[in-house]
A and B are shown apart, each in its own frame.
Chain A
Amino acid sequence: AQSVTQLGSHVSVSEGALVLLRCNYSSSVPPYLFWYVQYPNQGLQLLLKYTTGATLVKGINGFEAEFKKSETSFHLTKPSAHMSDAAEYFCAGRTKASKIIFGSGTRLSIRP
C-alpha cells in the first residue's frame, strides 16, 4: 500500500536543541515529498518540498529535510529549536495516481 509514516506522535525538545522529525514513505510513492506545518489555531502551510534535484531541501524558518532513497526517508531537521517552532508537523507524499497522502502528524513541543 502507498503510505507515509511518521515515527513519533509527539516530540519534545529543549529550546536551542536539534529538532528531528522522522518520516518514511513506501517505495511505491514517487519522490514528491512534502512537509507541512500547522501552528496552533492556524491552517496548514507548506514548509518545504522535494521533487527532483538536490536531495537536501531547505524550507522556511530554518528547517530542512533530506531525501534518502536508500532509506525511503525524508526526515525534517532544524539545528536549533525556537519556542515559535511548537506546532503540528505533517509529512506528505504524492502517489502515482497524483493523490496527496499525509502521515499521521507529529506534535513538536519546545521546553524553555
Chain B
Amino acid sequence: GAGVSQSPSNKVTEKGKDVELRCDPISGHTALYWYRQSLGQGLEFLIYFQGNSAPDKSGLPSDRFSAERTGGSVSTLTIQRTQQEDSAVYLCASNLLGVGNTDTQYFGPGTRLTVL
C-alpha cells in the first residue's frame, strides 16, 4: 500500500498476556518510530529505528517493552506481561531521512490496545 499500515487495528487482551503489534512502513522509508498515545495524553516516544544503526530505545517505559525491525522494513512492538496501564493507542510512523528531505512523519492508523 501507499501508506503506513498497522495491525491489528484493535487488540483486547488479558492482564499478564504478551502482545505483538505490527507496523509496515512506507516502502523505502529508512526511519521508523513507535509512539504511544494514552487517553487524554500526548504522543509518548517509545523507540526509533534509523537504517542499520542501533535503535534509540530511550522511550521504552520498561523492560517488558521491546521492538525489532526486520530487513529494514517491517517492525514489531512486543509487550510482555501486559498491565492495565499499557492500554493506549500505539502509533507507528515512518519517514525518509537524508540530504534534501524534510522529515515529514507519515503515521499509521494505530493499534488500540485494551488490557483487561
Residue from B31, B104, B108, B109 in contact with A98 in the complex, judged by beta carbons closer than 8 Å = B31
Contact B107 A43 (CB under 8 A): yes
Residue from A34, A51, A104 in contact with B105 in the complex, judged by beta carbons closer than 8 Å = A34
| B12: Cβ under 8 A from any A Cβ | no
Contact A102 B43 (CB under 8 A): yes
Contact A100 B95 (CB under 8 A): yes
Contact A43 B108 (CB under 8 A): yes
Instruction: Please classify how large the interface on chain B is, using the bins under 10, 10 to 19, 20 to 34, 35 or more.
Output: 20 to 34
Given known contacts A43-B109, A102-B35, A103-B42, A32 and B102 CB-to-CB distance under 8 angstroms: yes
Bound CA–CA A105/B36 (angstroms): 13
Secondary structure at the A interface, as helix, strand, loop or mixed, is strand
Bound CA–CA A99/B95 (angstroms): 11
Contacts of A99 in B (CB 8 A): 33, 45, 48, 56
Bound CA–CA A25/B48 (angstroms): 20
B62 to chain A, nearest CB (A): 20
Q: What's the tally of chain A residues with a CB closer than 8 Å to chain B?
A: 22
Contact A100 B105 (CB under 8 A): yes
Contacts of A97 in B (CB 8 A): 56
| A82: Cβ under 8 A from any B Cβ | no
Contact B107 A44 (CB under 8 A): yes
Contact B107 A45 (CB under 8 A): yes
Q: List 19 A-B contacts (CB under 8 A).
A: A6-B42, A34-B104, A43-B107, A43-B109, A43-B110, A44-B105, A90-B42, A92-B105, A97-B56, A98-B50, A99-B45, A99-B48, A99-B56, A101-B45, A102-B45, A104-B41, A104-B42, A105-B42, A105-B43
Interface residues of B (CB under 8 A from A): 31, 33, 35, 41-43, 45, 48, 50, 56, 91, 93, 95, 97, 102-105, 107-110
Interface residues of A (CB under 8 A from B): 6, 32, 34, 36, 43-46, 49, 51, 90, 92, 94, 97-105
